[in-house]
């Protein structure tokens, strides 16, 4: 048994969470040594309660591994553990990061900025429209859109990203031998080809209710920020927003009708301090410091890989490109020439910077690339 296989077995053992797995590996020196330990050694470690220890000793490790790797080959899944170099950096520093990630597709590189988008399964037409629109706009700037593949807002977020040719990541609450919900089977296939389906659960794990709150911490953990669109007071999207706050991520919320159940959660988030979002620019404004850090260091690891090209520019963006040239132009001059408010001009210029169409020079001067 290799060290990676031993980690996969530990991840599947009943009653072992990430914290206990790390403690066992530290105590015994490796995952392999932890699995070789007998009952007396495991009990002496004082890491495991008796009922968990008994389940571990009874676990058929060889049979599990054989079935697991058969499913992995059948479904063309890859495995990434927290000890691997290609494990997503954003997840390493969250509380209780997943020990193992099963991946169908291709994980986006760490240099791509990600935004999570979550909300009600029973979304309104308005909510679905907003989700798909914002997702497409984020995707056009090179953001990876992260969601949970549930019906409703999640599915709309994935679709909006795919329509622009962007990358999207779906984090699911079951093993990758299951497609849940079945109505998203085609969406599952498209995401696998243009992003990644991720799960921390062993391949055959069914979609049981208990798993979904746990997967929400991964959705927020992969992202710079979480945008909530339509959520009741008991929505899983609010669980994701709580994880986001614990992880130091920004939380955005789209307001809704005060008398609609699916607005109560989002409106409460706004009352409690979430950033109110009524347009795409509200998201960019809040994330601007992080994005400018990325733009300032194009050779560093943390850069944004834009997928947009000039033919995707809006009419307003095209006007600004035409106002600029190789000669530096001060932002106030652009405000005067365009007739737009300064905040709107700054937002447009940021979008154009992200698309590598314009460049900001010291002193808030801009040139066309």
* Confidence band for 111, pLDDT divided at 50, 70 and 90: low
Least confident of 67-81, 103-117, 336-350: 336-350
CB 100 within 8 A of CB 81: yes
DSSP line for 43-55: HHTT-S-HHHHHH
Spatial neighbors of 363 by CB under 8 A, at least 6 apart, are 330
DSSP line for 276-328: E-SSHHHHHHHHHHHHHHHHH-TTSSS-------GGG--HHHHHHHHH--SS-
Residue with more model confidence, 156 or 109: 156
Strands 168-171 and 144-147: parallel
Closest CA to 119 of 227, 211, 192: 227
Closest CA to 123 of 151, 150, 152: 152
Domains of the chain in start order, with CATH, are 1-59 (1.10.150), 104-284 (3.40.50.450), 309-368 (1.10.10.10)
For 42-92, the pLDDT digits (tens) are: 999 999 999 999 988 999 999 999 999 999 999 999 999 999 999 999 999
DSSP line for 129-194: HHHHHHHHHHHHTTPEEEE---TTHHHHHHHHHHHTT--EEEE-SS-TT--SSGGGHHHHHHHHHS
Closest CA to 219 of 103, 116, 136, 95: 116
For 233-264, the pLDDT digits (tens) are: 988 999 999 999 999 999 999 999 888 899 99
Can you give the pTM of this predicted structure? Answer: 0.82
Residue 102 to residue 86: CA distance in whole angstroms: 13
The two structure tokens encoding residue 12: 């599947």
Strands 100-105 and 225-229: unpaired
């Amino acid at each position: 048994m290799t060290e990676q296989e031993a980690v996969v077995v530990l991840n599947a053992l009943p009653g072992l969470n990430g914290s206990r797995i790390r403690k066992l590996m530290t105590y015994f020196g490796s995952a392999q040594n932890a699995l070789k330990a007998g009952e007396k050694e495991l009990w002496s470690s004082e890491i495991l309660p008796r009922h968990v220890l008994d389940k571990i000793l009874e676990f058929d490790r060889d049979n599990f591994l054989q079935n697991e790797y058969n499913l992995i080959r059948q479904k063309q899944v890859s495995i990434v553990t927290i000890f691997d170099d290609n494990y997503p950096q954003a997840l390493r520093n969250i509380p209780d990061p997943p020990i193992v990630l099963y991946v169908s597709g291709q994980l986006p590189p760490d240099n791509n900025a990600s935004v999570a988008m979550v909300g009600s399964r029973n979304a309104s037409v308005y909510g679905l429209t907003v989700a798909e629109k914002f997702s497409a706009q984020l995707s056009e700037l090179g953001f990876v859109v992260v969601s949970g593949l549930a019906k409703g807002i999640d599915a709309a977020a994935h679709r909006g990203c795919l329509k622009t040719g962007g990358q999207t990541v779906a984090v699911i609450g079951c093993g990758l031998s299951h497609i849940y919900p079945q109505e998203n089977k085609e969406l599952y296939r498209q995401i696998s080809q243009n992003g990644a389906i991720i799960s921390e659960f062993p391949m055959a794990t069914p979609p049981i209710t208990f798993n979904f709150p746990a997967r929400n911490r991964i959705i927020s953990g992969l992202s710079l920020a979480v945008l909530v669109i339509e959520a009741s007071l008991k929505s899983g999207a609010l669980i994701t927003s709580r994880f986001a706050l614990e992880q130091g991520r920004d939380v955005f919320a789209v307001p809704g009708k005060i008398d609609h159940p699916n607005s109560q959660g989002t409106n409460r988030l706004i009352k409690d301090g979430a950033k109110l979002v009524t347009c795409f620019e509200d998201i960019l404004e809040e994330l601007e410091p992080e994005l400018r850090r990325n733009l300032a260091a194009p050779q560093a690891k943390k850069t944004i890989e834009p997928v947009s090209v000039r033919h995707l520019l809006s009419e307003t963006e095209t006007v600004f490109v035409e106002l600029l040239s190789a000669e530096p132009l001060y932002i106030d001059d652009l405000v005067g020439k365009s007739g737009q408010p300064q905040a709107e001009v700054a937002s447009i210029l940021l979008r154009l910077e992200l698309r590598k169409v314009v460049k900001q020079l010291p002193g808030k001067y801009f040139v066309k690339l």
